[in-house]
């Protein structure tokens, strides 16, 4: 059977390797140009690739390999597992697959090219963020916040159709719904996550209420209104995902005249990871029609890795660049000696963890001292506030993830329920925000992830937990630093050595739980995140 397996792999790679590269390039180009024809090309290639993974005979063959006792080599066994999970989610009939891809691409294009309108003026996402963050005018804030939700009306019906198509595919494969299928095929147990989120809810509830009270006191003073009058548009971002800057640290001033791209390069190079090759192929600045978010893409599993950003010289984009190139270095240093199938991260949340570990440094006083050159005095002055700022972001974000995780779970369990109301029930419970009076809009549908990257948000939270676990392991075991200071890794080549050799290089050779155990000496443990941000 081993020979049969090697023949299968050879034939699989012949079909998939070049096509996969072509698709990644087409998608990268479409998100830069925003042209409908480029999105059409991407959709066609995506369909072609998905049709390979939906091949019934191939899947039966993989099942045979999976159930065979003949395989003793760990690498082959893992290849079979990864292939099984990849194929399983596409074992749906072609008509259903085509409908799903086409609808998903239609929604993606609407998100990519949509510009909210306020007083007849079209606004980019960056402009909306700026108004919500800086304006003191409640009327302007309300209008802008509501405008940022307008996209929801344009896509909500399509999203519900897409949810039903995804559920149909999942039930045909013997799963309860798409939510359960996504978790299981991504090697996450739903019960494990439900327990983890309940535990995190309990562990953060008290600290969240303290922080939310501080935020409300600050905002009521800032806007000169009563605390009871505070509405969602007063919280300085579209979804209250990261919370307002209540500690008056203007990180933006540190980056005003700085070259964000160069700083990113210098930092990674200092910790022993070269990113020049990836920077040169990336697309990092705003363009008309270009996708407004940021992402990192692995083009060919041979080292062509690119990042898309819309850099402005500010804190948000410094943090985003550190984050995205965290993904990029992980992809770059996966061992090329692994089979093609295993040349990727162990799990989506293990790459998120690396991205988050580095993204956090943009507000770290030691990092700002060593990389940006702020004075020792300034460093000491902002030290307490910067910790409280990051703590606020982490706790507020963890509550936001509670909303998304629970909303998606309920949405896939019953797409016909009153989603508009459900959204606000969860927002009120976990984020403590007040629903605007008589509001009955598809506000949930304005969140791009719910439409295009469903059942993904839990990975961000798992990533934060693992980022803290890795941070403490590197600090205490690699750098032998037991001080209570929040360190930055600047110039520490051994950080790169550890991550490359004991984390990145393994690719998907091990399941995520084994990788975490091997690289940190213990299982995924939320107590490090609690230690860092709650206690």
Whether residues 434 and 447 fall in one domain: yes
pLDDT along the chain (535 residues), means of 10: 95 98 97 93 93 94 96 96 94 88 94 92 93 96 96 97 96 95 96 96 97 98 96 96 89 96 98 98 94 94 97 95 98 98 97 97 96 97 93 96 98 98 98 97 96 93 98 98 93 98 98 98 95 93
Domain boundary residue among 190, 224, 251?
190
Domain range spanning residue 318?
Answer: 191-533
Whether residues 205 and 102 fall in one domain: no
**What is the predicted pLDDT for the residue at 180?**
98
Name the domain count of the chain. 2
In angstroms, rounded to a whole number, what is the distance separating the alpha carbons of residues 281 and 306?
6
In angstroms, rounded to a whole number, what is the distance separating the alpha carbons of residues 408 and 178?
10
Whether residues 157 and 237 fall in one domain: no
Q: Do the Cβ atoms of 485 and 51 come closer than 8 Å? A: no
Whether residues 437 and 372 fall in one domain: yes
**What is the predicted pLDDT for the residue at 485?**
87
Answer yes or no: pTM beyond 0.85: yes
At 415, which CATH number? 1.10.1370.30
**What is the predicted pLDDT for the residue at 292?**
85
Domain boundary residue among 130, 157, 190?
190
**What is the predicted pLDDT for the residue at 118?**
93
**What is the predicted pLDDT for the residue at 242?**
87
**What is the predicted pLDDT for the residue at 93?**
83
Whether residues 347 and 379 fall in one domain: yes
**What is the predicted pLDDT for the residue at 222?**
95
Domain boundary residue among 150, 171, 190?
190
Whether residues 297 and 434 fall in one domain: yes
């Amino acid at each position: 059977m081993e020979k049969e397996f090697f023949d299968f792999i050879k034939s699989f790679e012949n079909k998939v390797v070049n096509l996969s590269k072509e698709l990644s390039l087409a998608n990268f180009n479409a998100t830069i140009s925003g042209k409908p024809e480029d999105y059409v090309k991407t959709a066609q290639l995506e369909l072609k690739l998905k049709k390979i993974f939906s091949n019934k005979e191939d899947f039966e063959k993989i099942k045979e390999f999976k159930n065979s006792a003949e395989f003793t080599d760990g690498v082959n066994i893992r290849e079979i597992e990864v292939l099984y999970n990849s194929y399983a989610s596409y074992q749906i009939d072609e008509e259903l697959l085509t409908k799903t891809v086409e609808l998903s691409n239609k929604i993606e294009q609407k998100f990519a090219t949509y510009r909210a309108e306020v007083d007849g003026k079209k606004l980019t996402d960056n402009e909306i963020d700026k108004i919500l963050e800086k304006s003191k005018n409640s009327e302007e804030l309300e209008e802008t916040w509501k405008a940022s939700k307008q996209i929801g009306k344009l896509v909500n019906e399509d999203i519900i159709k897409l949810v039903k198509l995804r559920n149909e595919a999942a039930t045909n494969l013997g799963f309860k719904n798409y939510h359960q299928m996504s978790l299981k095929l991504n090697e996450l147990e739903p019960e494990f996550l439900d327990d983890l989120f309940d535990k995190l809810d309990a562990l953060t509830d008290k600290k969240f209420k303290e922080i939310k009270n501080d935020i409300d006191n600050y905002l009521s003073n800032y806007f000169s209104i009563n605390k009871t009058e505070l509405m969602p548009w007063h919280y300085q971002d579209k979804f209250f995902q990261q919370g307002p800057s209540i500690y008056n640290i203007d990180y933006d001033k540190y980056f005003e005249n700085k070259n964000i791209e160069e700083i990113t390069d210098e930092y990674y190079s200092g910790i022993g990871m070269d990113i020049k090759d990836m920077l040169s192929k990336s697309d990092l600045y705003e363009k008309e029609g270009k996708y407004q978010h940021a992402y990192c893409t692995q083009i060919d599993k041979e080292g062509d890795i690119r990042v898309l950003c819309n850099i402005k010289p500010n804190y948000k984009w410094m943090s985003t660049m550190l984050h995205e190139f965290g993904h990029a270095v992980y992809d770059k240093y996966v061992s090329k000696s692994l089979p093609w199938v295993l040349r990727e991260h162990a799990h989506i949340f293990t790459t998120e963890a690396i991205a988050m570990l580095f993204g956090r440094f943009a507000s770290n006083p030691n990092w700002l001292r060593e990389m940006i050159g702020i004075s020792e005095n300034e460093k000491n002055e902002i030290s307490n506030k910067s910790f409280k700022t990051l703590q606020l972001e982490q706790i507020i974000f963890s509550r936001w993830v509670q909303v998304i995780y629970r909303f998606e779970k309920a949405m896939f369990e019953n797409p016909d329920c009153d989603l508009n109301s459900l959204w606000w029930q969860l927002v009120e419970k976990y984020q403590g925000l007040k629903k605007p009076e008589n509001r009955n809009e598809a506000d949930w549908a304005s969140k791009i992830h719910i439409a295009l990257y469903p059942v993904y948000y839990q990975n961000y939270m798992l990533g934060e937990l693992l980022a803290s676990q890795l941070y403490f392991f590197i600090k205490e075991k690699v750098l032998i630093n037991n001080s209570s200071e929040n360190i930055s890794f600047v110039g520490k080549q051994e950080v790169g050595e550890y991550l490359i050799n004991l984390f990145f290089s393994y690719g998907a050779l091990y399941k995520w739980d084994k990788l975490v155990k091997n690289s940190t000496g213990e299982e995924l443990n939320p107590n490090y995140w609690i230690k860092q941000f709650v206690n």
